Amino acid sequence: MGACLGACSLLSCASCLCGSAPCILCGCCPSSRNSTISRLIFTAFLFLGVLVSIIMLSPGVESQLHNLPWVCDEGARSPVVLRSHIDCGSLLGHRAVYRMCFATAAFFFLFTLLMTCVHSSRDPRAAIQNGFWFFKFLVFIGITVGAFYIPNGSFTNIWFYFGVVGSFLFILIQLVLVIDFAHSWNQRWLGRAEERDSRAWYAGLSFFTLLFYSLSIAAVTLFYIYYTQPSTCYEGKVFISLNLILCFCVSIIAVLPKVQEAQPNSGLLQASAVTLYTMFVTWLALSNVPDQKCNPHLLTNGTVLAGAEGYVTQWWDAPSIVGLIVFILCTLFISLRSSDHQQVNSLMRTEECPPVLEATQQQQVVACEGRAFDNEQDGVTYSYSFFHFCLLLASLHVMMTLTNWYRPGETQKMTSTWIAVWVKICASWAGLLLYLWTLVAPLLLPNRDFS
């Protein structure tokens, strides 16, 4: 009897996978907006691809990849060595990551095209966006299986450049999210300080602002210690010094009277968060410098002895781990965010929920207890197409993060290149220019409404 009841419960929840909207036919999910649940489930698809990629990088799994048709041409009888003591199985792990992330990117690219110009849930395509999860999962599995049978050829080399471009754009999106988060944080704490007439909120903002700037200064000091040498590493010195100067300049501009008058919520908290993120991107760039003297994280030092069989590669260095954590947080923020910053909404193709509509949705939450409710009948709360495009870029970015931005060469070697360094440094400069634009845009375009 208990087994029958359990089976009925599973069948009830299974309707969530095939319905026209997630969980709208059953009570297995808490009350929530349809748009939020859909974004979270699509993000779960992305995280599933990331998890599979991480598993395929582990040494135990790499030994099983020789059964696939795109193994190294030489095979196990003639192992290919990458730089110092890195066998062919490690290269296979990176090829697996490239194919897994290709499948994830192709899946989201398909939905980017399919969901173009969807304006409300009354559009028939909205039912595909918000439902039929079982069938979408089958499509995802089918694309993944097909990706693993792509002939090797020049696929990996070509896809590397797609990853470079996509990762560059996603780094900019991450900066926009950092600005949005800091702006919302600053606005809420200032509002609570005014409501409760308490200086504790001001002290909290000052504390975190000083903390972010202190961490940034500490990062710059460590960069000069570990990534530069007195008689060499001139590129690293220029990158560190230039980014430090640019961050100082935008911090000064953020508190200028004219900027404060046009944007009352602008302040040093946002500038300190942008500074800290810029130093993080600078760190990622320096970790890819292809010079052993200027880069302690270079792959040639990333090996440990593994008994009589030789060496096992340690791919997980500090920049990769921190980069993966930042990637996960930003991707979740894309799925859950509802910004009240008009310029960020314009950049991220989302809309602020009006108070009247917000009250109506609260009534729907009470009426649809235990179910998801459709909150997009009058208009979508985010651009379906742009959301999938962001996840596409996230797929490319995590591919480059997991592979340390190392390029597969013609001789089956994974090598660090200056391309990765310049892409990240240029992304940090573009991000600072983007933040500068959010500060001065109301001054340069006084006839445009930025409220």
Per-residue pLDDT of the chain (451 residues), as tens digits, is 444 444 444 444 444 555 544 454 444 555 567 777 888 899 999 999 999 888 887 766 666 655 555 554 444 444 443 333 334 444 467 778 888 999 999 999 999 998 888 877 777 888 888 888 899 999 999 999 988 888 777 888 889 899 999 999 999 888 888 888 888 888 888 888 888 777 888 888 899 999 999 999 999 999 999 898 888 888 899 999 999 999 999 999 998 888 888 877 778 888 999 999 999 999 999 988 888 788 876 654 333 333 333 334 445 677 888 888 888 888 888 877 654 445 555 544 455 544 444 444 444 444 445 455 566 666 777 788 888 999 999 999 999 888 888 776 544 555 677 888 999 999 999 989 989 988 888 888 777 765 5
Q: What is the CA radius of gyration of the chain?
A: 24
Inter-residue contact 286 to 236 (CB < 8 Å): yes
Among residues 47, 228, 22, which one has the least CA distance to residue 131?
22
Report yes or no: 176 and 337 within 8 Å, Cβ to Cβ: no
From the list 394, 271, 381, 380, the residue with the least C-alpha distance to 332 is: 394
> Residues 58, 60, 61, 67: is their CA dihedral positive or negative?
positive
Strands 32-33 and 372-373: parallel
Q: Which residues contact 333 (CB under 8 A, 6 or more apart)?
A: 177, 181
Question: Is the Cβ–Cβ distance between 201 and 192 less than 8 Å?
Answer: yes
Residue 29, both tokens = 């999910």
Helix (H/G/I), strand (E/B), else coil: 423: helix
Tally of CA atoms within 13 A in the half-sphere of 435 that contains its CB = 37
pTM for the structure as a whole: 0.77
Tokens 């110092």 -> residue:
84
- Residue 39 contacts residue 380 (beta carbons within 8 Å): no
User: DSSP code of 120?
Assistant: S
Q: How far apart are CA 219 and CA 284, in angstroms?
A: 12
Distance CA 121, CA 376 (A): 5
Structure tokens at 328: 């996960």
